[in-house]
Structure formats: structure tokens, C-alpha cells
Amino acid sequence: MSTLGRIPERRAAPRWAPPFGLMKWLSFAHSAVYLGLLACWIGGVDGGLKTALGWGHGWGWIIMCVLTVLALRGRVLPLWLAVCVAVVGAVGPFVGSAGFVVEQRRRERATS
């Protein structure tokens, strides 16, 4: 039987989704690694430090993307913040970190 044109059944949320606070602090850590990488690039540092920070930024972005998908499916993060972290985070993780600050303030305003 074809499912073309039918609305798919709603899937259950994943069993585990990273909490908002963990995602926020991981985003800040990723931004710090990226800041160090930029400082090495601007300062003309060659060698192991720049390589280690480059690998840290690359793997950090991959890990953030996987966790962002889990957090999005678990309804921990809104779509706009997930896009900031996963899409823009490859070239500017500061956008995701700023997005976490904005979302935290929005949540605090909503509860008070």
C-alpha cells in the first residue's frame, strides 16, 4: 500500500535528549575552542596547538550537530536555535552561544 499523500504517524520522542543546560555549556565550550583557533590563525601560530584546536572545532561541531538533532526531536530546543547551532555553528559557533543566551532569557521571562 502506498503512503504517498498520507500524513505519517507521529513518532515518539527519542528516549534521551540532552538537557538545555548541557547544550548551552557545550556550545560555550565549542565557542571557546573556536576563539582559540581564531587567535592562533590571527597570531600566526603554527604547529600542534592550531592543529589540535582545528580538530577540536571539527569534532565539536559534529558532536553538537548530533546532540542538536536529539534535542530538537526531544523538544528541548526550538527550531531556530537548532539551525543556529548546527548550520551556522560550522563557521561561527558564537551565533549558537548567543542563541542559547536569548532562549534562556525568553524562558525565564515566560516563567516569571
Question: How do residues 18-48 score in pLDDT, each as one tens digit?
Answer: 999 999 999 999 999 999 999 999 998 888 9
Q: Could you identify the residue written with the cell 577540536?
A: 56
Report, as an integer, the average pLDDT of 62-91: 92
Task: Give 52-68 as a DSSP string.
Answer: HHHHHHHHHHHHHHHHH
Give me the amino acid identity at 28. F
Q: Is residue 73 part of a domain?
A: yes
Tell me if 82 sits within 8 A of 23, measured CB to CB.
Answer: no
In a domain, residue 66? The reply is: yes
Q: What range defines the domain where residue 57 resides?
A: 20-111
Task: Look at residue 1 and tell me whether its pLDDT is greater than 60.
Answer: no
**Does 5 fall in a domain?**
no
Lowest mean pLDDT among 14-18, 43-47, 104-108: 14-18
Position 69 confidence tier, pLDDT thresholds 50, 70, 90: very high
**What was the pLDDT predicted at 95?**
93
Is the residue at 39 inside a domain?
A: yes
Q: What is the mean pLDDT of the chain?
A: 89
- Residue 25 in any domain: the answer is yes
How many domains is the chain partitioned into structurally?
A: 1
Give the CA angle between residues 50, 54, 59 to the nearest 5°.
150
Residue 2 forms part of a structural domain: no
